[in-house]
Structure 1
Amino acid sequence: MKNMNSPWLIRLNRVDCITLLSVPLTLLAISEVLQQHIMSALGLLYLAMTADALDGMLARRWNLTRNFGRYLDGFMDVLIYLLTPALILMQWGFTGWWMIPLVLMVGCGCIRLSVFNETGNLGEGEANKANSEEAKPEEEAKPSETSVDGLAYQGMPVFWSLFIIAPLLWLNTLGVLPTIATKVLLAVSLTVFSYLMVRKARFFKFSSLRQILALTLGGFLLWTLGSENDGLAKALLTAFYLQIPVVIGGVLHMVVVSRDYLPGLAKPIWKTAFGANKTWRGFVVVPALTAAGALVLLPFEWLLGDRSPFAGYSLLLAGAIAGLGYMLGELPNSLVKRRMGIGAGELPEQGKVITIAVDQLDSAIGVAAAYSIYLGISSDVALWYIISFPLTALIVKDWLHKNALKQSAV
């Protein structure tokens, strides 16, 4: 039910926020295209596809499905799979008469998405009445062999545009496919793809989380590794790589806390100012465990060589400094919350979302600053670290909570 007293058109839920992650990622991809960073742009689009793939699954799991979410997802699909890929190909050289397949792709894709907004995914019982007026989106999908959750697509889904375009452009970048051969293959493939998008037929729907993440994150990794060194996608991948020691250190720290190891150090450093949760144990254990976590990267360091952000620096010292930055980054936020009367580990009723966001950002800023000082990482990498780490932190905290290593998921 709509809240008539709300000043906003609609109240977004957490699935809508995941869907909207595609907006900044797609705009950044467009920015990369305009700078001729083609593979970097494709890497960012595959990351946007991860958010797009997860929102529907999570909406069903959290019982947050609604028509608005489907419409919003459709607009994101136009950006991710139709307009931005078309721009990528035009910047690459798919101009003149070669643009005809792009017109077909965008037009047929919009038609297909409009039909999807009416009918939704197909269940087994809807196979023979795909475009029937009686096929209502509210009908429950019955079990089917086409996917794990019994859902299937009506018409070839638009996300196949990236699965068609990215590999062909990659092969062209590597010199395996000549440009003219790449253009012909793209023209034929996209024309057939356009036809299949509007054909009344069932298409398999990926519903396994492992399948989805393997395709989307695997694509992001592959295209990013093949992208330009100064591209935004590679800066983001570097930021994720720098998070590994911090994640390992954080998980091991919660093991220490949950099992009450080193109880003699579990004393507040300044209870009045920072609360009871900021202890000497944390300041000793987190840098040590993050340093240990950095050693996990040794095999990757051997493979990366001079391309690693840790090249020429001590992994142990870098990990310890990152752990210290994590702890120091939390102190200003803790100080402000204590002054506002918010207890340690508590969330206020008003401004709850903002408080959760700041709780994830404080340590991200601390670690990014520590890495910047010691490793001299670029501003792009530091900014990506601050932006991406809160999402990583929430995922890890949710896992810790489910495994009884943390009291709350935030």
Structure 2
Amino acid sequence: MGHLRSTIIGNFISNLHEHLGGKVVRINYLGDWGTQFGLLQVGLNMSNYTDEMIKHNPIQLLYQAYVTANQAAENDSALGAKAREIFKSLEEGSFADIKKWENYRKYTVDELQRIYKRLGVTFDEYEWESMYSTVQIKSVLDQLEEKGILKSEEDGRKVVNLDNNRRATLVKSDGTTLYLTRDIAAALHRYDRHSFDRLLYVVENGQNDHFTALMGTMKQMDLPWAERMRHVKFGRIRGMSTRKGSVVFLKDVLDETRDLMHKKQLESPSISTAEEGEIKVRISLQGDTGTKLQYTHCRLYSLEQNCGAQLPTECDPSVLQETEAVLLVVEVARFDEVLNKSHEELEACVLVSYLFRLCNLTNQAFKVLRIKDQDPHIASQRLLLFHSSRRVLQQGMNILGLKPLNEM
């Protein structure tokens, strides 16, 4: 559940760039490296899960194994040492069960793709932190040393000096690498493959120091594209801890939401009326919610299908002089401006606020701008205005990752 925000925000940013004509490569970078994954293997050894069990429920069982190991390690320091030993063997490529590890990764991606499909989210590439182990990033470390960026400490660590008298460790005293080291290698690898204009990391705000260190190191390497890297931050969901076993699984949230909405639909069935195709939905529309966006889109779609008027080939502003019509025209015309601001700030809330205002003005216009039994020319011009409003609403919802409904 903690990764839901990064997925939704990243999907919005990708959709926005694509809508504005950009070429986007969506990468899901999955952590499968570090001492914590040595601890995960300890938990798997303790849990006795079969390969078949993990194949059918990978995310939850791997998580449970990790929690089991963490709880046991609190009272047994030897387990922590064992985890470090396992991770060292993983980095050196000598881990005996590496084939099982590769299977676990495949099962995890298969499960993630099923969940993302429910959200309408796709990725072009899945990357793994383990792609950048000690063997793979030796050339990167050599490059850092040649440039005089990487310094050796008395305890065997290798560090980089950053601004404000900060230091960042890239290689631990036992020779294993850290998340920052692998992120440097990953950034170099991505530029080699994609020659990007922008590299956006959509990660919660708690990782701000990490990305400050990453980008500070890349700039010291005199890479011309280092300035194009940006950390897109968002707030952390409080009260969740992987180690303590207090996370909520996204699949469970989606299932519960689906069941709850189905129950509400059965309790409060939709009622359609023939008058201008207006849809009356007996559900709560109070406040600005996704339901409000869907309701307005359904209402506009139904209007187009049932009002009896024809869309004109040209707009005639002279017959759209009502205050409600003028306000709606102005708001529809602001769409490109709003998208550019969202693009500049990388903030979905800019677009969301605009769409809610568009819905409010559209629903106000519904009360005044009648179409049925009106002069055909006036009716067609009003229909064109509502059609334009629906097209903008539809595009905005698609950018946000919402599938516009035609009926509720």
Normalising by structure 1, we get a TM-score of 0.26
Q: Output the TM-score relative to the length of structure 2.
A: 0.26
* Structure (1 or 2) with the greater strand fraction: 2
Greater RCO between the two (CA within 8 Å, min separation 6)?
2
Q: Which has the larger radius of gyration?
A: 2
